[in-house]
Structure 1
């Protein structure tokens, strides 16, 4: 796989994303459904934003690894939250995970009216290898 990040500016580096990612010669592409704080038994979390963000990241990582891909192959990440204000103090958790896996991804973050049941944050990814 050949991968190139496109950044006409530098300010997005502080926010842990790139403006665009070009990928050529891909061996496979994994489109992940939104992953949220849902336990192995299918029960949605009713915990706070930090706990839900950590569980959503863990669930996304589990899906990616189970499929035989690496988190470093994430090229697109969509983040949905019921409250950007509530999420923002915990954003460094996501940034640390991105840095740990050396992910360079295009990112969209959206505040939505609601998510499934009691969920507060959801992560959706496109992964290549």
Structure 2
């Protein structure tokens, strides 16, 4: 798979994502359901702790990708939902810590929502990946 970043403006790079990417030569695509801060039985974890919820949601996303023989470097798009956007953005260093080492900056969208499917969840991340 060949990825070409498209950034007519550089400001998004400071936030860790490309405005777009041209993806060529893919063999497989994986569309992941939203991953949240739940344990392996689906029980919500870390109520009221945005940082811990983001970390576990990322762990769960990596587990799903790994089960499909992919990783964070394969992600071609992220969609993030947060009940408190300002609080979520305070902890986006966690995304940088995961995506930086694999040199990935997939296009992403961050949306503020009034609630997620299961209270007390505050953060959900969906991904599309390809190889």
What is the TM-score with the length of structure 1 in the denominator? 0.95
1:65·1:71 contact (CA, 8 Å) conserved in 2? no
The answer on whether the counterparts of 1:32 and 1:63 sit within 8 Å (CA) in structure 2 is yes
Tell me the equivalent position of 1:23. 23
| Deviation larger for 53-62 or 113-122 | 113-122
* Corresponding position of 2:127: 125
Runs of 4+ in 1 over 4 A off after TM superposition: none
Give the structure 2 partner of residue 43 of structure 1: 43
Cα distance between partner residues in 2 of 1:60 and 1:14: 23
CA distance in 2 between counterparts of 1:120 and 1:58 reads: 16
Query: Could you tell me how far apart the structure 2 residues matched to 1:47 and 1:58 are?
Result: 18
SS in 2 for 1:42: coil
Residue 4 of structure 1 is matched in structure 2 by 4
SS at match of 2:58: helix
1:59 and 1:75 map into 2 onto residues whose CA distance is 17
Question: Could you tell me how far 1:94 is from its partner in structure 2?
Answer: 1.3
Aligned residues: 129
Q: State the superposition RMSD in angstroms.
A: 1.0
SS across alignment from 1:34: strand
Unpaired stretches in structure 1, ≥5 consecutive residues: none
Show the counterpart of 1:60: 61
Instruction: For residue 109 of structure 1, report the CA deviation from its aligned partner.
Output: 0.4
